[in-house]
Amino acid sequence: MPGPTGGRPPKLASIEAEVRREIAPTAEMLDRVAGVRGRLLDLAARKAHEHHLPLVRAVVAGSAARGTFLSDRVDIDLFLLFPPELPRADLESHGLQLAGLLFETAETRYAEHPYLRGTYEGFQVDAVPGYAIRDPSHPQTAVDRTPFHHEYLRTHQTPELIEETRLAKQFLRAQGIYGSEAKTQGLSGYAVELLILKYGSLDELLAAARTFTPPVRIVFTPGSSPRVPAEVPLLLDDPVDPHRNVTSALSRRNFTLLLLAAQAYLAAPDPRFFRPRPAARLGRAGALERIRARRTHVVALTLPRPRLVDDIVYPQLAKGARAIAEEARRAGFTVVGSAFAASEATVTILLEADPAALSEVRSQDGPPPGPDRVAQFLAKWTDPSAPVLQGPFVAEDGRLAVETRRGEPGLEAALNRHMDRISLGRDLTRSLRAEDRFVPLDRAHEVPELELALGELLVKRLPWLVPDGAASS
């Protein structure tokens, strides 16, 4: 395995050496985090004993436990592990009770089950209950494998690999694809650490990545067979559970972005590949200027946000955006793009289409020849009250058809007319109010997330091409 600079082009080695210095935590910070870890574990064990809670053990895992965190991102994950036979309801209640004894103030957060987020000696700590399982291939909650992940990495990593892991995290962070949460759909910290174990350095990982053609299978454990859908672009088996794909959260878009970034960086190394940019924001006035120049039309739907975590809300927003685009296409519009964003109170979905209005004449396709359906179609459209402009007649494809007049030809009207058949996802649909309607952008609610959604829709550019000081989508 090459060292930090050995065997690398001088410019690339110089850039990476400087980035390593910038992102590495100081020795004082590493000592401080280690001390906090130890005191947290002692406190959890003592409070569990005092309050007769059946804690098996507490574990600090993740980057704070292995020193793979970046200097400006230090969060601590504390796992409170209870007996596997404990009922789920008791796991949640005992876990929250014990977590509440560790912090002066804390807030309840939700993932697969509730956990507490609090502050301890100046650090943000997530205290998450789970089960002390013996076999990581049979977890009872989503976090039960985590102690096994920590132990595996702790026994395989070297100081050089830890440095390369930080470098890789910073590279992915700058491209906006570090993190496996539903909002990001990138690579988790655990996935990054495994990839560096596999390839030995960021440069070797990128050299491999620039040749990838999806779907890609990276074998970590010989004979492993992760159970994943065929459309997943990257498969990396989990060494503590070879049936699991560690990179299943990575979207096809972000997989492609990784490949392009690898090609561009290795071809022309530059520090900008390690500089994160804030998400693009675009005000409504600037967006209206852009769509006038583009000769398109943007509509917005703003809803109250369900009281749910991002990992539940964002997949439903993505599903809703796809359903809205499909309804627009069904109505005859050409969809250019869509975007969405969420704040604590509201969510917004945008759709850009061309043109903004359709002809007043609408062709209504009927059935192919067949006595039952043809009779029904003819009965409907030969009724004297039917709004027929022409027909019924036989179209070129052999189906019956009529031409009718549209009620309102605009995109907003077309979507609002069929709001009941647009599937926004269970929780978003429940939050839909009678007054919630698609409106043109110039009438959209000026909610906090609107500028983010407009940036996603109208300010698309590869991250490393965005000038320093500017926002990136």
Average pLDDT over residues 449-454: 96
Residues 43, 139 within the same domain: yes
Q: What is the pLDDT of residue 73?
A: 87
Which pair of tokens denotes residue 397?
């494809």
Please determine, for residue 58, whether its predicted confidence score (pLDDT) is greater than 60: yes
Query: Is position 215 within any domain?
Result: yes
**If you search the block for the tokens 């205290």, which residue do you land on?**
127
pLDDT bucket at 371, cuts 50 / 70 / 90? low
| Per-chain mean pLDDT for the chain | 90
Q: How far is CA 117 from CA 44, 109, 121, in A?
A: 15, 7, 13
Is 9 inside any structural domain?
no
In a domain, 149, yes or no: no
| Domain co-membership, 110 together with 135 | yes
* Whether residue 172 has pLDDT greater than 60: yes
147 close to 61: Cβ distance less than 8 angstroms: yes
Q: Whole-model pTM? A: 0.86
Number of domains in the chain: 4
303 and 386 housed in the same domain? no
Which among 386, 405, 424 is the end of a domain? 405
For residues 237 and 191, membership in a common domain is answered with yes
Owning domain of residue 351: 284-358+409-465
262: pLDDT strictly greater than 50: yes
Whole-angstrom distance, CA of residue 259 vs CA of residue 242: 25
| Distance from C-alpha of 423 to C-alpha of 49, rounded to nearest angstrom | 50
pLDDT tens-digit map of 137-162:
999 998 999 999 999 999 999 999 99
Answer yes or no: are the C-beta atoms of 119 and 99 closer than 8 Å: no
Q: What is the C-alpha to C-alpha distance for residues 263 and 206, in angstroms, rounded to an integer?
A: 8
Provide the pLDDT confidence category of residue 186 given band limits of 50, 70 and 90.
very high
Check whether residue 336 and residue 428 sit in a common domain: yes
Q: Are residues 113 and 211 in the same domain?
A: no
- Residue 301: give its domain's CATH number: 3.30.70.590
Question: Is the residue at 98 inside a domain?
Answer: yes
DSSP 268: S
What's the average model confidence in pLDDT over 368-383?
A: 81
**pLDDT > 70? residue 453:** yes
**Domain end among 228, 255, 274:** 274
Say yes or no: 162 and 196 in one domain.
yes
Domain-embedded: residue 116: yes
Quote the CA–CA distance of 114 and 108 in Å, as a whole number.
Answer: 7
Parallel, antiparallel or unpaired: strands 334-342 and 297-304: unpaired
Residues 392 and 349 in one domain: no
Q: Is pLDDT of 125 > 70? A: yes
Which pLDDT score, from 0 to 100, does residue 116 have?
93
Q: What is the pLDDT of residue 472?
A: 47
Integer Cα distance of 246 and 189 in angstroms: 10
Residue 8 within a domain: no
For residues 349 and 301, is the Cβ–Cβ distance under 8 A? yes
Q: Which amino acid belongs to residue 281?
A: R
Better pLDDT: 465 or 396: 465
CA distance 234 to 247: 6
Tell whether 208 and 302 lie within a shared domain. no
Per-residue pLDDT reduced to its tens digit, 205-242: 999 999 998 889 998 888 777 666 667 899 999 999 98
Q: Rounded distance, CA 273 to CA 390, Å? A: 60
What CATH number should be reported for the domain holding residue 112? 3.30.460.10
- Does residue 333 share a domain with residue 252? no
User: Three-state SS for 160?
Assistant: helix
Instruction: Report how far residue 44's alpha carbon sits from residue 48's, in angstroms, rounded to the nearest whole number.
Output: 6
| Residue 249 belongs to some domain of the structure | yes
Percent of the chain with pLDDT over 90: 70
**Residues contacting residue 305 through CB under 8 Å, at least 6 positions apart:** 313, 342, 343, 344, 345, 346, 347, 431
Confidence of residue 36 (pLDDT cuts 50, 70, 90): very high
Same domain, residue pair 96 and 238: no
CATH, residue 261:
1.10.1410.30
pLDDT per residue as tens digits for the range 70-100: 999 898 999 999 999 999 999 999 999 999 9
- Other C-beta atoms closer than 10 Å to the C-beta of 334 total 11
The arithmetic mean of pLDDT across residues 414-428, rounded, is 90
Integer Cα distance of 143 and 341 in angstroms: 27
Q: Which has the closest alpha carbon to 468: 253, 247, 270?
A: 270
- b/e burial code for range 184-218 (CB count within 10 A of at least 16 → b): bbbbbbbbbbbbbbebebbbbbbeebbebeeebeb
The distance in angstroms from the start CA to the end CA of the chain is: 35
Let me know if residue 49 belongs to a domain: yes
Domain boundary among the residues 244, 274, 304 is at: 274
Q: Are residue 58 and residue 89 in the same domain, yes or no?
A: yes
Q: Picking from 107-121, 122-136, 363-377, 389-403, which range would have the lowest pLDDT averaged per residue? A: 363-377
H or E segment and range at residue 217: strand 216-218
